[in-house]
Structure formats: structure tokens, C-alpha cells
Chains A and B, each alone.
Chain A
Amino acid sequence: MNFRKYLFILVPYSWLLLLFLVPFIIVVKMSLSDTEMAIPPYTPYFTLSQGWQGIVDFFSQLDFENYIFLAEDNLYWKAYLSSLKIALISTTFTLLIGYPIAYGMANAAPEWRPTLMMIIILPFWTSFLIRIYAWMGILSQEGFLNQFLLWTGIIDQPLTILNTNIAVYIGIVYTYLPFMILPIYASLEKLDISLLEAAKDLGCNRSQSFWLITMPLSKAGIIAGCFLVFIPVLGEFVIPSLLGGADTLMIGTILWQEFFANRDWPVASAVAVVLLLLLMIPIILFQRSEQKQREAEQ
């Protein structure tokens, strides 16, 4: 029994160690290496052939040069800050658009709810790339949005939306909307209607009972939804690279460029390590709030 149990544990455990933890250690090591115009494009190169002395030499050649480079170069600071700004603004918009939808779903007749849920989930299954691509045709100079606005006479010159930050915001709100709606809907659905009835009996009007009861009781869903949008958006690559323009700075695209265009692996690795450190804060906050929520429910 025990042997089988350990075999059961050992297979996925060693898989994750080998393909998740070890690669990550390699990234950290790479971020401490120096860039070299060679194949592979970095030094020092780890080998066991020179014995102990080789290992000592290897560690003595590692340094924090790349991190100093990141700290001194304005570009990286700006990219980290602008990723934070984009993630914050787009999370706010996703919340403002997602909440009324979740609220509407929770207020719908119970027999309709599974269907409404399906309508929200279905786009989530379709390709992310295709959903972003769909917006390219809408937002471009001669795209559908401009055609429509020109036709209605609201504007007389086509607007430039594609390849600006506005397009990035639209893309993020569009693709991450289900992540916001589902947790909010889950918390609204659990809400006890008798509380709202009691509030009405006690003289609250609709908006008072919304702000005094519905909103506070859906706080857990709002927090979860905001984190579920904010965390992945920070490291987003596809949306800024397809919808964003030259002035869209996001850390995901910077990392990609460092790696593929500049072939600077050590700097790309340092960018990755800093991004991960940056992500630790919201992730830890999120775990704490989930824990609190779980304790409150028990």
C-alpha cells in the first residue's frame, strides 16, 4: 500500500520539480550571468567537468549586474510602472462593466441562470488570440467602429484607436470580463433575499438597500474578481503586442523583446525575476483574503 502511495506521489512530484522548480532556478541563475556574443549567449557556463574548482569559479562569476542595469535604465522602471497603471485602470473598468452584468444574472429567474452562465463562459473557452484579433478589425482606422461613428455623424474624422493604450484597455476588459463576472455572480447568488425584504420593510429604497446590503455582501466576490483580473494582466503579452502601439509599455512585451529580438537572455531573466517579485504582493494579498473568507464561512 505504502509503496503504491509513494509511487503515486513521486511521479507528479518529480515532474513538477523537474519542469517547474528547476527551470525557475535556472532563470534566477541566468539573471546573475553576463551577456556574451556567443552560443549560448551568456557566461559563466555551468559544467561539472572541472570538479569542485569549476563550481567555485562558476559561483564567483555570478553577480547582480543585470539588476543594477535594470535599476539604472529608465525604460524598465517606466515599463513596470506603466504595467501597474494599465492593470489598475483596466481592473477598475472591468469591475464597473462586470458588476451590473453579474447583478443582472443574479436577479434573473433561477431557471434562466444556467443559460446566462453558459453565455458568459462560452467566450472564455474560445481562443484568446482570436478574441483579441476580432478587435483589430473593429478598432482600426477603417474599422467597424469608425465606420459606424462616421455613419451616425458623431465624428467626421476617423479616430485612431488601434495601436494606442485605449485599444489595450478595451482588449483587456473584453477578455478578462468573465473572470470578474463569475466570482461576483457567485457571491450575489448566495445573498439572502429576506435581507433585502427586511430593508424594504424598514423603509430603505432600492438604492439604499443596494449600497447598504447587496454591495457589502458581495465584497468577497469583488475582491476575488479584481485579483483574478489584475494578476494576469500585469504579465500580459498578447494584448499589448497586438492592440498596443509604440508608446504602450508593458513588462511582458519588454521581456519578449529582450529575449527574442535582442537575444539578451540574462537581462530577460532579470526582468522575469523582478516581475515575479512584483506579482508576489497581490498574490499574497489575494491568498490572505481568500483565507479570511473561508474562515468567515465556517
Chain B
Amino acid sequence: MKRFTWFNAVSLTLGFAFLYIPMLILIIYSFNSSKLVTVWAGFSTKWYISLFSNDAFIDAAWVTLKVGFISSCAATVLGTMIAYIMVRGGRFFGRGLFSSMIYAPLVMPEVITGLSLLLLFISIGLDRGVFTIILAHTTFSMCYVSVVVSSRLASFDVSIEEAALDLGCTPFDAFKSVTLPIIAPAVVSGWLLAFTLSLDDLVIASFASGPSSTTLPIKIYSSVRLGVSPEINALSTIMIAIVTFGVLTSSIISKRAIKRQRLEEEQAFKNG
């Protein structure tokens, strides 16, 4: 029975066009030499040049990368710990509260998360800046990391870990040499997710940042509110290119890793 019909083909084509045409237009018009964004006046890379000579954008980009890198590393460590506790930790005092605190940030509107963190920083007298943005981003992205990692943890066999413990590993050694390599792909994609969430965040960063620490989304938002500008198109194109490259590479790497793992398992099965 043939399943794929002309209706399917049309809806996929229209759907993908809807998803990609806005971004394609954005990319094409970043190479437009006219200042009017909607009128094509010939190919030019001058907006990229003016973007790179704009110190405000470069500074904001550095702040964003710094915040993204540090907060996603911290979130990956904490999120993996959370996943391990939730999947393997058994019962402990306050588990219910803990699990609801992990899921709440996923559904909490950003305006509320941002507002509550800002009020905290003010009431403990912490000056707002890069550090407070890192704290805020770590807090919400560790929850996403824990979701990604715990689904991987829940799907693999506990008996491998138990075997390691029986063979004399300490729990920490067992975690390091058995569990960690198995969940590594999930940890990596958790890190990537945390990093992109941090790069993307406007609302929480606006609440948590001080006057001296502007991130790229804050900068983009404040200039976009005044209208469309070719410099922002150029910046968007660069960001889209980086993300596309990152996502495609990581998906190819993880696909290869899974294939290799499967081959090794088959080999071990044959030899054993």
C-alpha cells in the first residue's frame, strides 16, 4: 500500500517553505547594498564590515559567549547530577519538592523567572552583571540538561553498573568508567541545548543584567525595536550559520558514535 500521497508532498513542501523562507530572505538581504532592507540594490558585504567595526556588538558578543560557555558547563555538571539522582538515587528526603523544582522552570514563563531572580539579587545585595546572568542561565538550563540526560540514563541497563560495583569499583569509579561513557552523547547534547538556550535568551538576561553587561539578544532587541536594519540581518546570518554548522556536525558525530557502538556490541557478541 502506497502511503506517501500528493497531499503529503504538498503539505511538507508548504510547511518547509513556511519555516525556511523568512530565514532565507533574511540571509539574502544581509548582502544587499541598499540601506532600505526591502529593496534590492546589488550584492555587497558592507554590512558585515560595519558590523565588525561596531564595538558595541563585538562587546555584546563576547559577553554572550562568555555567559553561554560558563553557564552551559555549570548547567551540564549540575543537570547530570540531578539526572543521576532522580534516576538512580532512590528515595531521599524532599524528593517530591526536588522533582517539581526541576520541572517548574521548564514551564515557567520567562518573565516570571527573570523577575524572581532579579528580586533575589537585589534583596541579597548582589550587583547585577555578567555573574548574575550566568547564575540565572545556569538555573534554568540545568533543568533542560537533566531532562535530556535522565531519558538516556533511564533507557540503559542498571546491571552494567551493578557488575562494575561487584567487580570492586567504588560508586564513583563505576560512574566515571561505566555510566559516563554511556550517557556521554546525551551529556553533549544537553550542553549544546544549554549553550543555545543561553545564547538565545533575551527576557531573563534583561532582568538579570546590569547596565555594564549587555548580551547580544539585549542589543539586538533594543536596535530591532526601532525597525529592520541590514546590520542586524548580517548578524542574524552569522548566528544562523554557526548554529546550522554546530547542529549538523553534532548530529553527524552522534550518528557515527551510535553506529560504532552498535558495531562493537555486535563484534563482542560474535567473539563471546
Chain A residues with CB under 8 Å of chain B are: 1, 4-6, 8-9, 11-13, 15-17, 19-24, 26-27, 30, 40, 46, 97-98, 100-101, 103-105, 107-109, 116, 118-123, 125-131, 133-138, 140, 142-144, 147, 174, 177, 181, 193, 196-197, 200, 231-232, 234-238, 241-242, 252, 255-256, 259, 265, 268-269, 272, 275-276, 279, 283
Contact B78 A134 (CB under 8 A): no
Task: Tell me which residues from 96 to 124 in chain B have a Cβ below 8 Å from any Cβ of chain A.
Answer: 98, 101-102, 104-105, 107-112, 115-117, 119-120, 122-123
Chain A nearest CB from B230 CB (Å) reads 10
> Could you pull out 12 A-B pairs where Cβ atoms are within 8 angstroms?
A12-B85, A13-B94, A100-B8, A101-B12, A104-B15, A131-B23, A144-B25, A181-B15, A235-B111, A242-B224, A255-B115, A256-B203
Does chain A have a CB within 8 A of B4? yes
Contact A238 B203 (CB under 8 A): yes
In the bound complex, CA of A98 to CA of B3 (Å): 19
Task: With A136-B228, A181-B15, A237-B111 given, name 14 new contacts (CB 8 A).
Answer: A16-B98, A19-B139, A20-B105, A21-B101, A40-B122, A97-B18, A101-B11, A104-B12, A126-B240, A129-B202, A130-B236, A177-B15, A237-B110, A238-B203
Chain A nearest CB from B80 CB (Å) reads 9
Does chain A have a CB within 8 A of B1? yes
Q: Which residues of B contact A46 (CB under 8 A)?
A: 123
Contact B202 A134 (CB under 8 A): no
Contact B26 A276 (CB under 8 A): no
| With A16-B98, A103-B11, A144-B25 as contacts: A134 and B112 at CB distance below 8 Å | no
Chain A nearest CB from B247 CB (Å) reads 5
| With A125-B196, A127-B200 as contacts: A8 and B8 at CB distance below 8 Å | no
Chain A nearest CB from B25 CB (Å) reads 6
- From A101, A104, A234, name the one whose CB has the most chain B CB atoms within 10 angstroms: A104
Q: Which residues of A contact B217 (CB under 8 A)?
A: 127, 129
Give the A-B pair count, Cβ closer than 8 A.
Answer: 225
In the bound complex, CA of A46 to CA of B124 (Å): 11
Size range of the chain B interface in the assembly? 35 or more
In the bound complex, CA of A232 to CA of B85 (Å): 28
In the bound complex, CA of A133 to CA of B27 (Å): 12
In the bound complex, CA of A129 to CA of B200 (Å): 7
Does chain A have a CB within 8 A of B54? no
Contact B139 A20 (CB under 8 A): yes
Q: Which residues of A contact B196 (CB under 8 A)?
A: 125
Q: Which of A27, A129, A283 contacts B221 (CB 8 A)?
A: A129
Task: Tell me which residues from 13 to 32 in chain B have a Cβ below 8 Å from any Cβ of chain A.
Answer: 15-16, 18-20, 22-23, 25-26, 29
The closest CB in chain B to the CB of A98 belongs to B15
Q: Which residues of B contact A197 (CB under 8 A)?
A: 1
